[in-house]
């Protein structure tokens, strides 16, 4: 470096270094050199060429340093954003590991109320058919009448009542399939979990639920935290796990009431 400064009279006008990443050193004709670092002294630019693995130099007037610096600034901003995202991800991972210790080891659904974790009782849904459609089906020469049924929970209201419109739940299951939150439909003496449509001949079953859009955060394999995207309206709800259109349904019901 001492010999090089002597070559240019020892007057250093500007220095540009990029040791953390490579940079494109642009020329005014639109081409560029891929360099590890570059330095500007008086009317010359000295740069370390990655293509040839050695220091080179050329007249300053050939280079587009404004474009070069803009490129450096853009890359530095990208690195800054990635570093910030990595920091947020690491923090989320640490919080997730801490939170995982709060989840009981038994399979089930748990309401998160600040530091308190309360288990929800698993319901016993029952399938109830449409008697009128059963009569029509019996009268038909071939089974062409589409069957209708409902899956219901007994009782007009859940015994588990919460008073926050944005409840959070932990869910730990030994076999994770589809899961989420649904709204139950009131019925005399019961609550409808889902409507069933049985297709004639094939006997395929179509299940219809009133799903609530939720966020899902995986804390560990088979362990999740879920909460609604939008505040809940007062009513009857359930956390459910199911296999779509396979009549495999587990239900943990709750109700939301305003305080």
Report if pTM > 0.85: no
Tokens of 54: 């050695």
C-alpha–C-alpha distance, residues 72 and 32, integer Å: 13
Which long-range contacts does 101-108 make (Cβ < 8 Å, 24+ apart)? 102/170, 103/170, 103/172, 103/219, 103/223, 104/170, 104/172, 105/172, 106/172, 107/172, 107/173, 107/174, 108/171, 108/172, 108/252
Q: What is the pLDDT of residue 251?
A: 94
What CATH architecture does domain 2-74 belong to? Answer: Roll (2.30)
**Cross-sheet strand order for the sheet of 214-220:** 116-119, 108-113, 168-172, 223-228, 214-220
Q: What is the pLDDT of residue 154?
A: 92
- Every domain of the chain and the residues it spans: 2-74, 108-256
Q: What is the pLDDT of residue 195?
A: 84
Q: What is the pLDDT of residue 96?
A: 60
C-alpha–C-alpha distance, residues 218 and 223, integer Å: 6
Cβ proximity of 255 and 157 under 8 Å: yes
In tens digits, the chain (259 residues) has pLDDT values of 333 333 333 333 333 443 446 889 999 999 998 998 899 988 999 999 998 889 999 999 999 999 999 988 988 898 888 888 877 777 766 666 668 888 898 999 999 998 889 999 999 988 886 544 333 343 334 444 456 888 899 999 999 999 999 999 999 987 777 899 999 999 889 999 988 887 766 667 778 889 999 999 888 888 999 999 999 999 999 999 987 656 678 999 999 999 8
C-alpha–C-alpha distance, residues 137 and 58, integer Å: 91
C-alpha–C-alpha distance, residues 241 and 17, integer Å: 57
As a three-state string, the secondary structure of 138-200 is: HHCCCCCCCEEEEEEEECCCCCCEECCCCCEEEEECCCCCEEEEEECEEECCEEEEEEEEECC
């Amino acid at each position: 470096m001492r010999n090089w400064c002597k070559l240019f009279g020892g007057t250093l006008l500007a220095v540009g270094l990029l040791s953390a990443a490579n940079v494109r050193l642009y020329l005014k004709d639109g081409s560029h050199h891929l360099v590890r670092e570059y330095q500007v002294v008086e009317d010359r630019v000295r740069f370390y060429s990655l293509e040839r693995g050695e220091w080179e130099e050329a007249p300053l007037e050939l280079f587009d340093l404004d474009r070069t610096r803009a490129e450096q600034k853009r890359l530095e901003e990208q690195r800054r954003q990635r570093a910030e995202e990595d920091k947020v991800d690491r923090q989320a991972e640490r919080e997730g590991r801490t939170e995982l210790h709060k989840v009981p080891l038994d399979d089930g659904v748990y309401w998160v109320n600040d530091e308190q974790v309360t288990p929800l009782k698993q319901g016993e849904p029952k399938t109830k058919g449409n008697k009128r459609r059963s009569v029509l089906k019996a009268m038909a020469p071939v089974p062409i009448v589409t069957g209708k049924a409902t899956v219901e929970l007994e009782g007009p209201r859940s015994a588990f009542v919460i008073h926050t419109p944005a409840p959070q739940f932990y869910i730990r299951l030994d076999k994770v399939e589809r899961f989420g939150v649904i709204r139950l439909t009131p019925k005399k003496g019961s609550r409808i979990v889902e409507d069933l449509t049985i297709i004639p001949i094939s006997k395929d079953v179509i299940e219809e639920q009133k799903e609530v859009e939720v966020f899902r955060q995986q804390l560990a394999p088979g362990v999740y935290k879920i909460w609604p995207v939008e505040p809940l309206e007062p009513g009857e709800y359930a956390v459910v796990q199911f296999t779509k259109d396979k009549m495999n349904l587990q239900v943990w019901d709750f109700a939301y009431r305003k305080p």
